[in-house]
């Protein structure tokens, strides 16, 4: 059984089909990139997978459970336990230090554990930045805090919506290296991107257009660069 399976998913806003009959399955440990022009439905799909939105039609099976039928409260619980989110704008809490931002996710999940949070920061190479406020960190550093926060509760899937959209090349590479590392540790990654360079390092690339899957390809170059 796949970790994630979308069956006949549609999301309709008025007479706009943001997603139109999407069928897709993602295996455990897979690294998938989702591409497509602006407005093609990428974020909509991520929101549905990330339990922040529900499809108008279809089933979303996560670990065999149809999350499209769950109540908002249960969705919050599923998101808390199974999903790690990485955002284009990082969304760090501006009055909390780096380590506290990681601990926020622990706090709302179970119990904050500063030692574990510091380890997570060390893993993304920010051990010496733990006590800095977001405003004292560079964009790349902020995104790494965001990644540490997404990882802290050991989610089953990491969802990243344009994670490198606000980063320069050097920081983009740092983030991609982290993704590689996560992939080697068998973390399931779904990364939305505009950027072909970000997409081509993934195992598989799905391209959306007008809410439909235009292509779904295995990246033959995967692992060689």
Partner 1 sequence: MFLRMIRGAFARQWKKMLIIALTIMLGTSLATAMINVMLDVGDKVNQELKTYGANITVLPKSASVMSDLYEVEGSSDDTGSYLLESEIGNIKTIFWAFNIVDFAPFIDTNVTTDGGSETRLVGTWFNHHLDLPTGESLDAGVNSLRSWWDVDNGSWIDEQALEEDERAAMVGAVLAKREGISVGDTIHVKGAEGETELKVQGIFDSGGDEDEQIFAPLDLVQELSGKDGYISSIEVSALTTPDNELAEKAAKDPGSLTIAQYELWYCTAYVSSICYQIQEAITDSVAAPVRQVAESEGAIMDKTELLMVLITILSLIGSALGITNLVTASVMERSNEIGLFKAVGARDGAISGLFLTEILLTGLVGAVAGYFLGFGFAQIIGHTVFSSSIEMKPFVIPIVAILMLAVTLAGSIPAIRMLLRLDPAEVLHGR
Q: Which of residues 8-27 bind partner 1 (CB under 8 A)?
A: none
Say what the alpha-carbon torsion angle 82, 83, 84, 89 is, to the nearest 10 degrees: -160
In whole angstroms, the minimum distance from the beta carbon of 42 to partner 1 comes to 10
Q: Which of 32, 40, 43, 171 binds Mg ion (CB under 5 A)?
A: 43
Q: How far is the CB of 77 from partner 1 (least distance, A)?
A: 7
**Binder of residue 65, out of partner 1, ligand ADP, Mg ion, none (CB less than 5 to 8 A by kind):** none
CB 2 within 8 A of CB 25: yes
| 88 touches Mg ion (CB under 5 A) | no
Query: CB atoms < 10 A from the CB of 212, how many?
Result: 15
Interface with ligand ADP includes 55 (CB under 6 A)? no
- Report helix, strand and coil shares of the chain as percent, to nearest 5: 35, 25, 35
- State the Cα–Cα distance between residues 152 and 197, nearest whole angstrom: 27
Binding range to ligand ADP, per CB under 6 A, among 33-41, 75-83, 148-156, 213-221: 33-41
DSSP structure class, residue 52: S
161 binds partner 1 (CB under 8 A): yes
Residue 94 interacting with partner 1 (CB under 8 A): yes
Pairing state between β 31-35 and 188-192: parallel
Q: Would you say 154 or 217 has its CB closer to partner 1?
A: 154
Judged by the rule CB under 5 A, the positions of this chain that interact with Mg ion are: 43
């Amino acid at each position: 059984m796949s970790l994630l399976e979308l069956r006949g998913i549609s999301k309709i806003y008025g007479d706009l089909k943001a997603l139109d009959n999407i069928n897709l399955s993602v295996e455990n440990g897979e690294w998938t990139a989702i591409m497509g022009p602006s407005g093609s439905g990428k974020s909509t799909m991520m929101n549905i997978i990330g339990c922040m939105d529900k499809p108008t039609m279809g089933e979303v099976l996560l670990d065999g459970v149809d999350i499209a039928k769950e109540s908002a409260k249960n969705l919050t619980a599923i998101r808390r336990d199974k999903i790690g989110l990485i955002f284009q704008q990082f969304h760090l809490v501006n009055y909390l230090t780096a380590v506290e931002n990681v601990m926020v996710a622990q706090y709302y999940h179970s119990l904050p554990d500063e030692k574990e949070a510091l380890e997570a920061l060390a893993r993304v190479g920010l051990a010496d930045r733990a006590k800095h406020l977001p405003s004292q960190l560079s964009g790349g550093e902020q995104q790494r805090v965001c990644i540490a926060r997404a990882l802290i509760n050991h989610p089953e899937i990491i969802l990243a919506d344009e994670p490198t959209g606000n980063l320069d090349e050097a920081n983009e590479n740092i983030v991609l290296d982290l993704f590689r590392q996560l992939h080697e540790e068998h973390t399931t990654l779904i990364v939305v991107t505009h950027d072909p360079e970000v997409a081509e390092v993934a195992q598989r690339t799905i391209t959306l257009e007008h809410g439909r899957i235009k292509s779904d390809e295995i990246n033959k170059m995967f692992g060689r660069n």
